[in-house]
Structure 1
Amino acid sequence: MNGDNGTSTQAPQMRALLFTDLCDSLILVERIGDAAAAELFQQHDRLVLTLQQQWNGRLIDRSDGLFLLFERAIDGLGFALEYQRELKRLSKQQNLELRARSGLHVGEVLTWENSAEAVKAGAKSLEVEGLAKPMAARLMMLARPGQILLSAVAESLTHRATSALGERAERLVWKSHGRWRFKGIPTTQEVYEVGEIGSAPLRTPRGSAKARRDIPLWRQPAALAAEALVLASLAVGGWLLLRPAPAIAFAERDWVVLGDVRNLTGEPLLDDSLDQAFRISLGQSKHVNVLSDIKVRETLAMMRQPGEAILDRRTAIEVAMRDGARAVIMPSVLEINGKLRVTVEVIDPANGNAVYSHSADGRGMESVLTSADQVVAALRDDLGEAMKDISRDSVPLPKVATSSIDALHAYAKGLAALYSQDFDSALMFFKQAAAVDPGFAFAYIGMMRIRHGQGDLEEALRLYDIAYGLRDRLTPRERLYLQAWGAQFGGAAMPAVAEQWRMMTELYPDDPAGHMNYSSALYGMGKYDAALVAARPLLLPQNPHRAFAQNYIGRIHLAVADAGQAQRMFKEAAALDQGASDVWLALSLAAAKDYEASEAIFAHRTLRGPGEQIERSSSLVDQGRFGEASALIERAKAECVDVADVCRVLDVIALHQQRLSGNPTPRTSYATILDVSLKKAEQQDAASRRESALFILATAYQTVRAGHSGTVRARAGVLKALTQKDDEPRARQLWALVQSALEIEVGQPQNALKLLEPFVNGDELYQVHVMLHDAYEALEDEAGQKQERDWLERQRGRAYAEELSSYVLQSLNLDDARRLQNSATQGAAVP
């Protein structure tokens, strides 16, 4: 850039970037003259400086416009709104028309300070680079005069935080301008406008060579479509004249309700088998989505119908009306003259009329799978898909899934058990499906999901390998799903894993699995704002796991210090999952220091499993009830059955809570855990080793904090190697924590500060600020201590919500939060 890079942050930071442009500034100068323009621009500069201070912005660059950086997106929006208002006021004073266009985006950037010599020579004091920068600039260039445009990320983060704008929030109006393609930006971006009622243009931006709307060909100007129309008319003109218009005009990504099979053969094996055959066949369509069985049963419950109620024509129509589905699909099977006839009707829920009907005949039980494929292919043509798309995306059901009706029957039973969280029964049924048809890839994926959820990564990997070998017998969607799991099992760094899941969200935006796993990967890296944006589609009413999604999103809100929104999410989730989210509701209340309400929930809640016991013990530590916390963890250890290495997590937490209770922790206890874990990690696959590395480094950090630094120093070489095997940001951060704790112990707190400062970018672990505080305390820097104490107090939610190796640091986080707040209170009380 300028030949002097100065000091780089090295790590990307999540920031809000605002570009503004004063429209027609050159014409203005010509009109009023240089002297008047100079005076006007001086007033403008004073206005900008005032707004910078008000909204905590940093001015990076300016000419006719501004480039500012903000830590919070809502501050960037507040600046833009106030800037527009003040320009209007200045216009009235000067009897001029002053209007600006603005673009706001949130993304990762790299920043570095230029040296004093470079600044003196004319360089900016701070340099900012990253893909987020041209994105924000493109938004500004797209905007009309007086218009504020936002990216989808910025819109999500500002919309949920408008309370920070005070009364002005009530006067805001928001509008989506659809998806746009920007030059230099690889994917389409949704563009939003925000402004005050009566002031915002609320008009579609004008496109340019660098930005154009992403619209179908048939909606583009007629001149562009004319050539294609002339060529196509000769080939398809006659067909268009003869083919009737669709009775239901389906749009891409519409939802349909699949009713229960009307089985007139007397063969019960066909009930759920044919239902599953239709789901798999329709699942190959990118045009429509089938409402899941879980979501249908949830809607039936709201209709005061039993969950096992038959989804007949009338009931299915009501479900479709409630859930916004475009059509109802009613399959049936009967025997005619020795043949099995599979029939499907498509019903318009608006009037209850059947608008399409297709049938296919075959001999024998196995024929129903081929017949189901035939009627689905005809149905997909009716739904509006081009035949070339159907032939490209579809594989016959016997080839893509199984040719065995018995295997499909067992698989359907397994899915039903999985949705009911009866994992033992689900495993049994999936195993039976694989035993009947060893080439049934779906069955192995079902088993893999369960084993991974139970923490048995080695068995999950074995099942993945089998499914991967059978990937030709998967639909395109399931192949992409398996590919993303492959990155995770292959030990790829979490950023690469996240990118695989992001790809799935782009290609299949209505599949909650992609959004959940993409957001979870971001959450695991501490990228909470990005995780919240990625998780937003999980709140769609069609998501069958909406209660789980609300619980998860509540934890993200807790991690970003939005306790009120977190509590709302947990309450809504608890109403759907029979109180399973009550523990997190209690933790969010404890994070807000409403201990009485938190304890009231725990008083009526039986803890389920070691996870809830860990979380409950942390809330007790938060209140200084160390003896109760320690006793709870000891009981959890006694009951622990180690499938996901959770027992060793309990061992580490138990040692910490023993120390809090006044019982000395023997050095050999930490040493034993470290040695056993290190030895085990040497024999693990890449994915398991990555998880073990995080646990081992977190344990090493707690070992130093417990006063056993010699144990860690003796193993420093092998511990450091853990951070070098895998490119994991969290592993590097944990190793920096270990090193900083050791530096403070030997009286070198300034070295600790240097180790930790590169990680302070919004994604950092709670313990980073604990160590920064302790380093400032060793340096007797009271201002630094207060800064870190204030951060730690604001981020109490993160102390609870931070997910790392089954919350192995949660108890320590809450102990430090209590300790430092108590020390601040005692210090303030000293005369």
Structure 2
Amino acid sequence: MPANAPQLRTLLLTDLVDSMGLVERLGDGPASDLFRAHDRLVLQLQQQWRGRLIDRSDGLLLLFERPIDGLGFALDYVRGLADMGRSRGIALHARAGLHVGEVLTWRNSDEAVSIGAKPLEVEGLAKPIAARLMAMARPGQILLSAVAEPLAHRAARELGERGQHLAWKSWGNWRFKGVPEPQQIFEVGEPGIAPLRRPPDTPKAWRDIPLWRRPAALAAEAALLAGLAVGAWFVTRPEPAIAFNQRDWVVIGDLRNLTGQSALDDSLEQAFRISLEQSRYVNVLSDLKARDTLGRMQRPGDTVLDRAVASEIALRDGARAVILPTVAEVGGRVRVSAEVIDPHTQTTVYAESADGRGFESMLESIDRVTASLRGKLGETVKSIERDSTPLPAVTSKSLDALRAYALAQNALARFNYAEALQLFQRATQLDPQFALAWLGQVRVYYSQENAGRGEVPLRRAQALREHLPPREALYLDAWVSEFDTPAETATKWVELAALYPDYLPGRGNASTWLYKENRFKEALVHTQAAAIPQNPLQGQEFDSVGRAYLGLEQYAQAEAAFKRSFAMSGGGSMRRLVSTAAARRDFKAARAYERRLEADNPFVYIERTSLAIDQGRWQDAQRMARKAVDLAGNEGAASRYLTLPVAVADWMAGDVESARAHARSALEKALSALRGYRGADSEEDAALALGAALALLRMGGGDTTDEVLGVLKERPALLDIPQIAELATITKAARNRLADRPDDAIALLSPLFDGNERYQAHVEMMESLSLSGRNDEALWHARWLQQHRGTAYVELECGHCLQALNVVDSDRAIRIEAALLEKQGKAAEAARKLEDFNRLWPVEIQPAHLRR
């Protein structure tokens, strides 16, 4: 079959050391057992690290999407072999080579595979380079190329505590047979396991030793070098250098303006930042984070970021360099210059400048200076050319508009949304083609949770997309998809995060949209990458880390993340601490956290309502749910979402008519909103309408499924959203079950179970399987519902509008398990489960629909 287009992949080649000798020493039987254990280890690690096995013999060839996954596999493989050998009293080692490069892949025909060919072929220069690395490695050694090392090194924190203790060593430049350019080689490993010794030369890989260091020339050179050394010291000085790697951080100091034109201060500094932020190689610490660090230094927020102050910020926030820009008039020309400062010594490492005529030349001069600095920090010319759009094209030729934009950014950093919006609007009045300023208005509206108002500036920015830097263009595309193709929004954010892995808004939003789809494990990767010291919103990201852990039922990690978030930024993490404690049925701790919730925030009453239901405090649940609605008022999306928990609380309190009325009210409010406004809130209203329809079915309040689906069919983009499509399927399945068609319900529900399914999918599957007499399968779902109470509490749709219903079902599943066990003739087990249920919700307080 024809090859696909070249793809950038991580290649890992391994070789089991002396495998033939192992067979001779152990004998065929024990060796066979060993290799079966080896194969189980490889399969387990493949699944854990998302690797694709391409080829195997004495060694392995695997492909990975990310270098850190390949490194994680290699580290676990080397450790696993060592443990396997130790248990058998033998030394068991592998050598490994890791490289990142373009490969061509193609599938062999079925006929070729049937006679022994591999299903997938992989070729390209990256493959022999990885093979050379593997071949030169010592037993137990993992060698990396210069392409793979910085990518893996920067992501090592994803390996947890182990990643902080890895040893990284450079073994210098090597020559590979058939490869024209020298290759820098690195080793990484765990101390005590890795050799951490220079690899030996091989016929296909040898050290790249300069001519002057070769033995034949050393003697002749020694005398000459000794004679020249003293004189050379006085003639030359070593050029200062800085240890800067790809994706390291820099702090931009305040612009020194020596022109006497004070209006240039903010505008040129902002232009300098925009120009440098286009790089995927250099990461720029945000001005918001710099000002936040000033606060921790107990300095005023308007402190000038000069050489000393900016260097201290860099040291505190893990930045490798400080850049100090300057603009001056020199000999009738305008000169833009910048110094790269080593924050440890505050010495200038590099300096670049560019001259132009008149102030209109300054944007082009800034581009030339930042391009030169990027090159001196190690970025390739190709990368600079690829990731650089001229400032005049992506900002504004109006310095007044640029200054208004800079001041708006400063206001946004102070969370002064009204001032920021006014200044962004001023910038677009001065230059209607200023796409970044239109996008700034969108950011303000979204920060205020007013997506509808943001659509007009969003469309203006969309029309000017070619005037945005590449990163911001992708950022725009993701927000546009939320309006036009919401089913693709998560993919858009993930794409942005992949291309710009240290662009923190991209990472944070990728996590949020994956979380909305119950893809908690994937969301965790992105939010952990965003919860770094350089992020001014680090505290909020730890809240997202906690949510992902709660969805994965890892309660201790969730609690730790929420506590860290609350300590750093306060906010909603206390709500999540209530949920975490309640999910593991530590109601004492949950009530203690509940007492720390603010009284005037309507959203905290969602958790308060759910906690009261969880404990069988029906009247408290009703009071809490109604309090939330009262605080939210009659306007806005919140008033709609908070109505459904009232219905659930009434249902559990036995007031079925009121429950149906409130569920119907929530449904009608959602449908009214869907018929009127077509903005970003529509997804939440679609979820609310379906959730209310599901609740009405279960409360005996009538079948409104067709009514809801009729409205949604007028908005087909909404039904393409995974979680909306799933809720629609669950609601249709509930209708079939209640009409005594459980097999139809099971057929609808079965395709949903991919590991990311909604909580209510398990509820309906449990009920339908039980009704169909498939008790063993129903029992599995009943137990799943009890074991995944973290998901019940944290799952997101329409502002957690289904949380209360999920919690009801997490407890009701105990009662259903008891009934299913009884059907299986396990009377003693059934009695114990029933006792558990009655202890949680005593018989005397159970509503009629539960007692039945």
TM (normalized to structure 1)? 0.72
Q: Report if the CA contact (8 A) 1:442-1:467 is conserved.
A: yes
Q: Distance in 1 between matches of 2:597 and 2:706?
A: 43
User: Pick from 500, 506, 512: which aligns with 2:492?
Assistant: 500
Q: Mean alpha-carbon deviation: is it higher for 369-378 or for 755-764?
A: 369-378
Residue 551 of structure 1 is matched in structure 2 by 543
Q: Distance in 2 between matches of 1:829 and 1:404?
A: 73
Unmatched 5+ stretches in structure 1: 1-17, 68-72, 105-121, 123-128, 133-137, 163-168, 179-190, 207-211, 224-241
Deviations 1:332-372 (A, max 9, x none): 45678998765543322222223444566778876765665
Which residues of 2 match residues 43-58 of structure 1 at below 5 A?
none
Residue 480 of structure 1 is matched in structure 2 by 474
Q: Distance in 1 between matches of 2:798 and 2:447?
A: 14
In the TM superposition, residue 648 of structure 1 has moved relative to its aligned partner by: 1.6
User: Pick from 422, 442, 445: which aligns with 1:448?
Assistant: 442
Q: Distance in 2 between matches of 1:47 and 1:344?
A: 56
Q: Report if the CA contact (8 A) 2:244-2:377 is conserved.
A: yes
In the TM superposition, residue 243 of structure 1 has moved relative to its aligned partner by: 14
Residue 761 of structure 1 is matched in structure 2 by 754
Q: CA RMSD in A?
A: 5.3
Residue 285 of structure 2 is matched in structure 1 by 291
Q: Distance in 1 between matches of 2:43 and 2:379?
A: 53
Q: Distance in 2 between matches of 1:139 and 1:336?
A: 53
Which residues of 2 match residues 799-818 of structure 1 at below 5 A?
799-818=792-811
Deviations 1:142-177 (A, max 9, x none): 798878999989x999955x9xxxxxx99x986789
Residue 85 of structure 1 is matched in structure 2 by 83
User: Pick from 589, 596, 599: which aligns with 1:597?
Assistant: 589
Q: Mean alpha-carbon deviation: is it higher for 740-749 or for 509-518?
A: 740-749
Q: Distance in 2 between matches of 1:623 and 1:156?
A: 43
Which residues of 2 match residues 575-590 of structure 1 at below 5 A?
575-578=567-570, 580-590=572-582
Residue 28 of structure 2 is matched in structure 1 by 37
Q: Distance in 2 between matches of 1:797 and 1:292?
A: 34
Deviations 1:348-403 (A, max 9, x none): 22222234445667788767656655654554455455667656644443432122
Q: Mean alpha-carbon deviation: is it higher for 360-369 or for 448-457?
A: 360-369
Query: Is 2:783 the partner of 1:790?
Result: yes
Residue 842 of structure 2 is matched in structure 1 by none
Residue 430 of structure 1 is matched in structure 2 by 424
In the TM superposition, residue 442 of structure 1 has moved relative to its aligned partner by: 1.2
Change (3 A) 1:265 1:149: closer
User: Pick from 626, 637, 643: which aligns with 1:645?
Assistant: 637
Change (3 A) 1:156 1:787: farther
Query: Is 2:614 the partner of 1:622?
Result: yes
Residue 828 of structure 1 is matched in structure 2 by 832
Residue 537 of structure 1 is matched in structure 2 by 529
Change (3 A) 1:775 1:682: same
Change (3 A) 1:638 1:262: same
SS of the equivalent of 1:459 reads coil
Residue 70 of structure 1 is matched in structure 2 by none
Change (3 A) 1:579 1:738: closer
* Number of equivalent positions: 727
Q: Distance in 1 between matches of 2:38 and 2:505?
A: 48
Higher RCO (CA < 8 A, seq sep 6+): 1
Query: Is 2:342 the partner of 1:348?
Result: yes
Residue 7 of structure 2 is matched in structure 1 by none
Unmatched 5+ stretches in structure 2: 1-11, 61-68, 99-113, 123-128, 171-185, 212-235, 819-829, 836-852
Residue 112 of structure 1 is matched in structure 2 by none
Which residues of 2 match residues 311-390 of structure 1 at below 5 A?
311-332=305-326, 343-357=337-351, 372-373=366-367, 375-376=369-370, 379-380=373-374, 382-385=376-379, 390=384
User: Pick from 526, 538, 550: which aligns with 2:518?
Assistant: 526
Q: Mean alpha-carbon deviation: is it higher for 369-378 or for 514-523?
A: 369-378
TM (normalized to structure 2)? 0.71
Q: Distance in 1 between matches of 2:621 and 2:748?
A: 33
Change (3 A) 1:819 1:420: farther
Q: Distance in 1 between matches of 2:737 and 2:57?
A: 49
Q: Distance in 2 between matches of 1:158 and 1:356?
A: 33
Residue 694 of structure 1 is matched in structure 2 by 687
Residue 711 of structure 1 is matched in structure 2 by 704
Query: Is 2:556 the partner of 1:564?
Result: yes
The letter for the 2-side match of 1:816 is D
In the TM superposition, residue 725 of structure 1 has moved relative to its aligned partner by: 6.6
Q: Report if the CA contact (8 A) 2:712-2:719 is conserved.
A: no
Residue identity (%): 36
Q: Distance in 2 between matches of 1:484 and 1:715?
A: 27
Q: Report if the CA contact (8 A) 2:475-2:496 is conserved.
A: yes
Change (3 A) 1:90 1:466: same
Q: Report if the CA contact (8 A) 1:341-1:361 is conserved.
A: yes
Change (3 A) 1:780 1:453: farther
Query: Is 2:505 the partner of 1:509?
Result: no
SS of the equivalent of 2:323 reads strand
Q: Distance in 2 between matches of 1:175 and 1:804?
A: 44
Residue 773 of structure 1 is matched in structure 2 by 766
The letter for the 1-side match of 2:604 is E
SS of the equivalent of 2:703 reads helix
Q: Distance in 1 between matches of 2:503 and 2:812?
A: 44
